[in-house]
Chain A
Amino acid sequence: MKILKIVFLLALLAAVIIFPQVYTDETATTIAVFTLLFAAAVTGWNIFSGYTGYIALGHAVYYGVGAYAMALMAQDWHVPGGYVTFLLVPLAGLVAAIFAVPFGWIALRTRRHTFIVITIATFFIMQLMAYNLRNITNGSAGLSLPLTPPDWSGAFFNLPFYYVALAVLLLALATSWWIRNSKFGLGLLAIRDDEDRALGLGVKTGPFKLIAFVISAFFVGMVGGLHAYFNGSIYPPFAFDAFFDVSIALMGFLGGMGTLAGPIIGASLLEPTQQYFTLYLSDGGLYLIAYGVLFLAVILLLPQGIVPTVRQLWLKWRASRKQDEAEPALVAVGVGSGESRSLPENQERKEGVNS
């Protein structure tokens, strides 16, 4: 079972690596780049919000800080366009992470509901700053990033971005997996289930939450920097976009909060849909309506997210199949322990517990 899973994951990775070589169509690869970027951002966001249960709706702040950091570093250090520029991406993430320390510290002084609203407020603060600090951000005119070399033309243009985005995603995923299986991750999950009890049992809830927050900001910042370079120029409403805030939350939610595969599934379903709407709905109003309806449909039809729902169905199916073969009394034990070993996500407690 475990070998099968590893083989499947390797095959999936190979398919993702080969994809842009097979489908050279520019529209397809552009959508693929966006999907990878969002998958990485949602994975990063999930490290904090999915594991701790604190919903952050202001991660566009770190995305924007990453984007501006990228543009400013490239501008001040006269970085020429090309592969070298990609080296700035981790630095952009680092700058975003540094910004996350004070913001996270202030916001995390409050609990769930107030926390959400404060993260939204930090988003509006930073958007205003991007407009108003003209000598740094150049106001609403924005900044431009280094030009890519002329030989990155046509279908080739998307390729470097595709692979760097994939690398960021894999790094985020590895971090998420590692946290999930560490004592630190257990502490985060304990915070989600019952923060006061976790504190009582010796989990350092304050530092834990802040560290997870900063890690998630780091990945979102890297995505921001990379996206800025991909886009070629940035301006306040692009870098600090309310849509981004809510989109990553919706993607994380659609896939399944606190799971490893969830963010990727959510992003790969929603991001192409969103890009499709952008391409084919010329009336901006119509686009908003379509996106809003999609939102409502996702939330009202799949109130738990895809991964938890599928897992439940799978367990039910397994249980009913085993029931035919073995005695019913043995079934519950067999399903419970056998399953949770093979899938790391299964260590998660049942969603219903914390609601």
Chain B
Amino acid sequence: MVQLIFEAVITGILTGGVYALMASGLTLIFGVMEIINIGHGALVILGAYLSFILQEKFHIDLFLGLLITMPLMFLLGLFIEWAFIRPLKRDRTMLSILVTFAIALIIEGTLGLQNTFGTDYVKLHAWYVDSSNASFQIGGFYLAYIYVFAFLLSAVLLAGLYFLLYRTEFGYSLRASMQNRTAAQLIGIDVERISALTFAIGVALAAAGGMAFGATTSFNPDSHYDLISRLLVIIILGGMGSLRGALIASVVMLVIEDVTAVVWSPVWATTVFFFLLIVILLVRPQGLFGQLEGRKQ
């Protein structure tokens, strides 16, 4: 039993890293733009399918393929922000939910057409995912390399994001826009440009998260509902708009889910995830690292 729990904790931490990658994009977008991107799950799945195409049709390695999919998704993010988010002038939060849900539907529909991918489950393949020497032994159990590689990828990208946010001029502007949009505009920050870039960065991170997700789980165009529900729980728990909160919440939640699956039952693992959310909200309505939303001046 102890062995199984140890195993669950390790995989929980490693997959938690991947969720952190996806959740960081979502929480950043919320923090800067005050919109909730319900389409984030669908964008992750789109990223997974792009990696799938590159690997099946062109035999490009999953990690190398990110050099193609991430810029592509970055451009897609710029386009979505320009075409659908920026025109929303009033009731932004609510309308953005409807708009991004519509985008999720369109992505899900396009991927699920009878002559694109249909609704069958697919999984990404590579030597470190499912070949005979894909796993190595650690502490008495076998772990596939992909979990470690995906975790390292998340660590590298999140470190890059951290550098971008805290050590560059763009990062200063971004954090200023997060703290106070109007004041940022007053001191000459081009908030619209920052918003567009933030959205695009979030979408590019979703592409990387999608590859890691697709290599560890099988997915179909429908999977985005499941993903977005978890991601939303993670960003509420962490405190909406808090990057650090999202990272910690991802790892904590995934560890708890995996441990529950072992000690209780996989059926209830996801439910525990949600119950924890309710318990924490009772104590701290603003999430672990969030700030209470007060009055908008």
A residues at B contact (CB < 8 Å)? 55, 57, 106, 109-114, 116-118, 120-121, 124-125, 128-129, 132, 194-196, 242, 246, 249-250, 253, 283-293, 295-296, 299-300, 303-304, 351-352, 355
From B93, B94, B105, B267, give the contact of A292 (CB < 8 A).
B105
**Separation of A285 and B91 alpha carbons in the complex (Å):** 30
- The listed residue with most A CB atoms (<10 A of its CB), out of B102, B108, B285, B295, is B102
**Separation of A286 and B109 alpha carbons in the complex (Å):** 6
Contacts of B91 in A (CB 8 A): 355
Contacts of B97 in A (CB 8 A): 55, 57, 116, 246, 249
**B271 near A300: Cβ-Cβ < 8 Å:** no
From B98, B113, B225, give the contact of A250 (CB < 8 A).
B98
**B30 near A299: Cβ-Cβ < 8 Å:** no
**Separation of A256 and B268 alpha carbons in the complex (Å):** 40
**Separation of A283 and B90 alpha carbons in the complex (Å):** 35
Per-residue contact bits, chain B 99-125, to A (CB 8 Å; 1 contact, 0 not): 101111110111111101001000000
Contacts of A118 in B (CB 8 A): 236, 277, 281
22 contacts between A and B (CB under 8 A): A55-B97, A106-B278, A109-B285, A111-B293, A113-B30, A113-B240, A114-B293, A116-B36, A120-B38, A121-B232, A132-B268, A246-B101, A253-B95, A283-B113, A284-B109, A285-B112, A286-B109, A291-B105, A292-B103, A295-B98, A295-B102, A299-B95
Interface size class of chain B, counting residues whose CB lies under 8 Å from the partner chain: 35 or more
**Separation of A249 and B96 alpha carbons in the complex (Å):** 12
**Separation of A251 and B240 alpha carbons in the complex (Å):** 27
Contacts of B188 in A (CB 8 A): none
From B105, B106, B274, give the contact of A128 (CB < 8 A).
B274
Main SS class of interface, A: helix
**Separation of A290 and B106 alpha carbons in the complex (Å):** 8
Assess whether B287 is interfacial by the CB under 8 Å rule: yes
From A112, A253, A289, give the contact of B110 (CB < 8 A).
A289
**Separation of A210 and B273 alpha carbons in the complex (Å):** 25
Assess whether B170 is interfacial by the CB under 8 Å rule: no
**Separation of A195 and B295 alpha carbons in the complex (Å):** 8
Assess whether B68 is interfacial by the CB under 8 Å rule: no
Contacts of A132 in B (CB 8 A): 267-268, 271
Contacts of A295 in B (CB 8 A): 98-99, 101-102, 105
Assess whether B160 is interfacial by the CB under 8 Å rule: no
Closest to A194 in B: B295
From B36, B102, B116, B293, give the contact of A296 (CB < 8 A).
B102
From A55, A120, A284, A288, give the contact of B229 (CB < 8 A).
A120
Contacts of A106 in B (CB 8 A): 278, 281-282
**Separation of A127 and B99 alpha carbons in the complex (Å):** 23
Closest to B293 in A: A111
**Separation of A55 and B92 alpha carbons in the complex (Å):** 12
Q: Tell whether A128 pairs with B271 under 8 Å between CB atoms, given A112-B93, A113-B240.
A: yes
Closest to B95 in A: A299
A189 CB to nearest chain B CB (Å) = 16
B60 CB to nearest chain A CB (Å) = 26
**B36 near A117: Cβ-Cβ < 8 Å:** yes
B286 CB to nearest chain A CB (Å) = 7
B26 CB to nearest chain A CB (Å) = 10
**A55 near B278: Cβ-Cβ < 8 Å:** no
B103 CB to nearest chain A CB (Å) = 7
Q: A114-B286, A285-B111, A295-B101 given. 4 additional CB < 8 A pairs? A: A292-B105, A295-B99, A296-B103, A355-B91
* Interface segment, one of B81-89, B210-218, B243-251: B81-89
Contacts of B89 in A (CB 8 A): 303
Closest to B105 in A: A292
**Separation of A224 and B206 alpha carbons in the complex (Å):** 36
From A109, A114, A194, A283, give the contact of B114 (CB < 8 A).
A283
From A196, A287, A289, A300, give the contact of B87 (CB < 8 A).
A300
**A128 near B99: Cβ-Cβ < 8 Å:** no
From A111, A116, A288, give the contact of B112 (CB < 8 A).
A288
Contacts of A111 in B (CB 8 A): 292-294
A349 CB to nearest chain B CB (Å) = 14
Contacts of A304 in B (CB 8 A): 90
Contacts of B286 in A (CB 8 A): 110, 114
Assess whether B233 is interfacial by the CB under 8 Å rule: yes
**B235 near A117: Cβ-Cβ < 8 Å:** yes
**Separation of A227 and B108 alpha carbons in the complex (Å):** 27
Q: Nearest 9 CB-CB pairs, A to B?
A: A288-B109, A295-B102, A292-B105, A285-B113, A292-B106, A289-B109, A355-B90, A124-B229, A111-B293
**B293 near A117: Cβ-Cβ < 8 Å:** no
Contacts of A246 in B (CB 8 A): 97-98, 101
Contacts of B292 in A (CB 8 A): 111
**Separation of A303 and B98 alpha carbons in the complex (Å):** 12
Contacts of B281 in A (CB 8 A): 106, 109-110, 118
Closest to A109 in B: B285
**Separation of A116 and B293 alpha carbons in the complex (Å):** 13
**A121 near B236: Cβ-Cβ < 8 Å:** yes
**Separation of A242 and B41 alpha carbons in the complex (Å):** 14
**Separation of A21 and B90 alpha carbons in the complex (Å):** 43
**B93 near A110: Cβ-Cβ < 8 Å:** no
**A286 near B232: Cβ-Cβ < 8 Å:** no
Q: Tell whether A121 pairs with B233 under 8 Å between CB atoms, given A55-B94, A113-B293, A303-B90.
A: yes
Closest to B235 in A: A117
Per-residue contact bits, chain B 115-147, to A (CB 8 Å; 1 contact, 0 not): 010010000000000000000000000000000
Contacts of B282 in A (CB 8 A): 106, 109
Contacts of B88 in A (CB 8 A): 299, 303
